Amino acid sequence: WDLIHWLAVVLIASTVLRTYGSWKTLFNWNLGVAVVLGVIAMFQSLGWDWLPFLPSIVWLDSTSPAGRVSSTIGNPSFFGAYMLVSIFISFALLLQSFVRNEAEDNAADQSPEKSNRHSLWLQRSFWIVAAGISTYAMFESGTRGAIIAFGLTVALILPATALIWANRSTVKPIL
């Protein structure tokens, strides 16, 4: 049933979200939620009970096994996997902003507005912070599968990205 669910989600999302901007908005909201959950996990790993009005949070000294954080999700394995996806979404948006910005600069009159550059740097800063918080929270969740997947993906994607970036003038942009 899980695969059927994901197929339905992809089908609906691909029909509703038609532009790059709408996908970017969806991913930014997803990262915003991940940052909130990651901050809660950071406080959870430090043992700070800073949200007494949310009794549903599983704190370290209650049912979380072996000091693993789970934020408000309650399951460290699911939380680690969610943070893993958030790490790669933030890096994908960050890399895509450099590719799209470079292509737009080459096509334009080389006179971008100052506010657009400021907005772009704010977005990039948000994506970097989201990746950092998500990475910390993923490692604090203690999920071996997510940590191994992260390591293998970085080991495979980093050299491929460097190779593509070095030859970016000959590689056709995906979006």
Convert the pLDDT of each residue in 81-117 to its tens digit.
Answer: 999 999 999 999 998 888 765 555 555 545 555 557 7
Q: What backbone phi and psi angles, to 5 degrees, belong to 17?
A: -95, 100
- The answer to whether the beta carbons of residues 38 and 83 sit under 8 Å apart is yes
Binned at pLDDT 50, 70 and 90, residue 74 comes out as confident
Count Cα atoms within 13 angstroms, Cβ side, for 73: 22
In this predicted structure, what is the pLDDT of residue 109?
A: 45
Residue among 129, 116, 148 nearest 34 (CA): 129
Whole-model pTM? 0.76
In this predicted structure, what is the pLDDT of residue 31?
A: 96
